[in-house]
Structure 1
Amino acid sequence: MSTTIAAVLLLALVAYAVFGGADFGAGFWDLVAGGPEQGAEPRALIERSIGPVWEANHVWLIFVFVVTWTAFPAAYASIVLTMFVPLTLAALGIVLRGASFAFRKSVVKLRYRRVFGGAFALSSVLVPFCMGAIAGGIASGRVPAGGKAGDPVTSWLNPVSLTSGVLAIVVAAYLAAVYLVWDARRFHQFELGEYFRRRAVVSAVVAAVVAVVGLFVLNADASHVFDGLLSRALPTAILSVLCGFGALVLLMRSAARGARLLAVLAVAGIIVSWGIAQWPYFLPESLTVSAAAAPEATLVTLLVAVGLAVLIVVPGFVLLYVLDQRTLLPEEGIEDAGDRPIISGG
């Protein structure tokens, strides 16, 4: 039963990576889009693309936390006690990002838009870095078992965490760029489609380089996960690489539809490979999944609740994404002050 719940948790992490992570990647492209005039069109596309779904995508993260503390309370206690600094930073970043994204549309003066736009973009970089750093700290065995707190600094500021944090930023940016290529063409903004296609290609290459560097770092500082990648997780890792390479080829040939699917599979393969490589440990190499699990009755009840959630919630998400992709959803909110011309004065 604990294995089933762990698989559900891993799938939820995959969902958050390919949906919520891409939203943060869009924030990265907002950050580097340039000045108010130069970056106006890319930022407008980003707002139009993520506006209908960005709030819904955080449901996956909430689901991950609820399942972890219910099914694996011992591991959850250790992770929260050790990683309270990056978890707090990530929570603040999520709140600040959402508020800034909403308020930026409601202000008229340029300097206020810059403030909210900068907060939105910087938070979108901070959050994936913190999430990746937490994953790196767990993978490298810096979270002690038994509900004890590890070092609040070195647990997430270490070679593995820094590498995985950077990889999370780059992968999120890559996914966002691939999605934005498709959305730009869907809205018949073909120049913007080319703009994001070039950035998708560059970020794919950077992600590959960071991943290769990460393998050397894992070998030196997280040998259990490294050995797992080269053994039990090797098939999914190879599949991820092949999908990533295929997506890159299609992007270079301007085939956005196929590239989007392969990019999603490549990122999903990274998450799944990490989970398989770390198996059977929840906290390498001190706490296994079975030892961290709650009593059997709790796991059964949780699995029933998850099944009901799949039947009730998932169809709503599918409908939301289908309507969004078919451009059948209204613009987020109503015409507001932010839709009027920007006033550049103080």
Structure 2
Amino acid sequence: MTASPEAIGVGVLLVAVIAAYALFAGADFGAGIWDLLAGGTRRGAGPRAAIDASLTPVWEGNHVWLIFGLVITWTGFPQAFAAVMTALFVPLFVSLMGIVLRGVGFAFRHEARRLRFRQLAGAVFAVSSLITPFFLGTVIGAVVTGRVPARPSGNLPSAWTTPTALVTGFLFTAACAYISAIYLVGDSHRRGDPRMVTYFVRRAAAAGVVTGVLAGVNMLLMRDSATYVSDRLTGDALPLVALSVAAGAAALVLVLFRPTRIALLRVTAAIAVAAVVGGWGWAQYPYLLPTSLTLAAGSAPTAAAQAEFAVAALAALLVVPSFGYLYWLQQHGRLQEGSSASLRAAASPGDLAVPAAEPPAPRKGGFLTGLMLTAAIVDLVRDALARRRGRRPS
């Protein structure tokens, strides 16, 4: 049974969304990892300030890709969604808690007045940034190894605790740190901070080497634990794997010897990540869950796929330009200035003083309130006239 063009299209859309999440939210997670490794309060002040300046304007928006991906999965491939959510409940729950806690920690770190509380909030943010990509990686590792059946009877700890799944978790974590360091090199250069450029260049190079080593180890493990996907990665999907390796090597050379070539550096690093996600998707085809659930058998009806395409078109028209404008503002320092000023104002001792009395601001929404009252009065008059004429209002 061959998958329909609509099902294949939804699958391609899902892989594209996963790649977007890996690039943007992955960089956010990586920033938290570097925050964790920055050192004590004094030693880590510079790197953390650079991370905050890059992360604060955009970090909340990047989870749009996660929500979009979840919606695509449960509406386009409901059986696979149910199987993964059932068998891999534990790592998915830990990942979700990590996403929630890192947001709480990041927000409270900026608002807290006491140093101890800021340190606690920062630790929550940093540790959550480490565990979330790791457990998301174990989920992908469990799926790739074929240990998620099409109809699991319950939670399967053995599916996500295999060596392949655990190494995939470490690989995801290292990749997030790598792509984040690459972006932070560019942001530090844009802000004219050569000390932070050098700082993140070294960490990008180290993370790139670690990511490459883990990818090689994972490929060796998959030869025995994920035979179908491994054979496809060295077969039909090999061009995408080769593209990822070449782009990753080019990014590593650029970050070491030409770190000021910001646009080229970011493009090559992004291609390295996106190509490996695409290679994974192509290697799994035609399976949603390797060897147990095919794309054709696990896809929703054609009408659901068509609705997905309509939503994706709306997202392309509304969400993608909004994100583009957001990143343009961030890269040109428009958001950084506003957010930094507000953070400084929040941290200033002077804001504890009672502000001078100000005249009350005019109430907003007066026009809308008046319009509603007018409509209500008209309706009452109309009802009264209808009763006098002995008929019900239409």
- TM-score, normalised with respect to structure 1: 0.96
Selected match of 2:258 from 234, 254, 257: 254
- Aligned position for 1:28: 33
- Aligned position for 2:132: 127
Task: Using the aligned pairs only, state the percent identity.
Answer: 44
Unpaired runs of 5+ residues, structure 2, are 1-5, 350-394
Root-mean-square deviation over aligned CA pairs? 1.3
Q: Which amino acid aligns with 2:95?
A: A
1:19 aligns with 2:34: no
1 or 2 for the larger relative contact order (CA 8 Å, sep ≥6)? 1
Pairwise CA distance, 1:151? 4.6
Whole-Å Cα distance in 2 between the matches of residues 183 and 80 of structure 1?
37
1:52 aligns with 2:60: no
Pairwise CA distance, 1:289? 1.1
- Aligned position for 1:331: 339
Q: Secondary structure at the match of 1:145?
A: coil
Whole-Å Cα distance in 2 between the matches of residues 264 and 252 of structure 1?
17
Q: Which moved more, 1:2-11 or 1:309-318?
A: 309-318
Whole-Å Cα distance in 2 between the matches of residues 102 and 59 of structure 1?
18
Selected match of 1:267 from 266, 273, 276: 273
- Aligned position for 1:344: none
CA shift digits 1:304-326 (9 cap, x unpaired): 12111211111111111111111
- Aligned position for 2:180: 176
- Aligned position for 1:220: 224
**Count of aligned pairs between the two proteins:** 340
Alignment CA distance shift 1:104-1:338 (3 Å): farther
Query: In the alignment, is the contact (CA less than 8 A) between 1:33 and 1:39 conserved in 2?
Result: yes
Whole-Å Cα distance in 1 between the matches of residues 139 and 341 of structure 2?
35
Q: Secondary structure at the match of 1:313?
A: helix
1:66 aligns with 2:71: yes
Query: In the alignment, is the contact (CA less than 8 A) between 1:106 and 1:337 conserved in 2?
Result: no
Pairwise CA distance, 1:152? 2.7
Pairwise CA distance, 1:113? 1.4
Q: Which amino acid aligns with 1:231?
A: G
Q: Secondary structure at the match of 2:113?
A: coil
Whole-Å Cα distance in 1 between the matches of residues 142 and 252 of structure 2?
30
CA shift digits 1:271-325 (9 cap, x unpaired): 1111111111000011011111011111111211211121111111111111111
Alignment of structure 1 residues 120-199 onto 2, 5 Å: 120-146=125-151, 148-149=152-153, 151-199=155-203
Unpaired runs of 5+ residues, structure 1, are 342-346
Q: Secondary structure at the match of 1:34?
A: coil
Whole-Å Cα distance in 2 between the matches of residues 261 and 303 of structure 1?
27
Q: Which amino acid aligns with 1:178?
A: I
Whole-Å Cα distance in 1 between the matches of residues 169 and 343 of structure 2?
38
CA shift digits 1:41-71 (9 cap, x unpaired): 1001101101111000000000000000000
Whole-Å Cα distance in 2 between the matches of residues 299 and 178 of structure 1?
36
CA shift digits 1:61-113 (9 cap, x unpaired): 00000000000001000000011111111111001000100000111222111
Query: In the alignment, is the contact (CA less than 8 A) between 1:128 and 1:168 conserved in 2?
Result: yes
Whole-Å Cα distance in 2 between the matches of residues 150 and 207 of structure 1?
33
Whole-Å Cα distance in 1 between the matches of residues 119 and 27 of structure 2?
22
- Aligned position for 1:318: 324
Pairwise CA distance, 1:339? 2.7
Query: In the alignment, is the contact (CA less than 8 A) between 2:78 and 2:300 conserved in 1?
Result: yes
Q: Which amino acid aligns with 1:104?
A: R
- Aligned position for 2:308: 302
The higher radius of gyration belongs to 2
Query: In the alignment, is the contact (CA less than 8 A) between 2:86 and 2:155 conserved in 1?
Result: no
Whole-Å Cα distance in 1 between the matches of residues 76 and 44 of structure 2?
45
Whole-Å Cα distance in 2 between the matches of residues 248 and 132 of structure 1?
23
Query: In the alignment, is the contact (CA less than 8 A) between 1:12 and 1:64 conserved in 2?
Result: yes
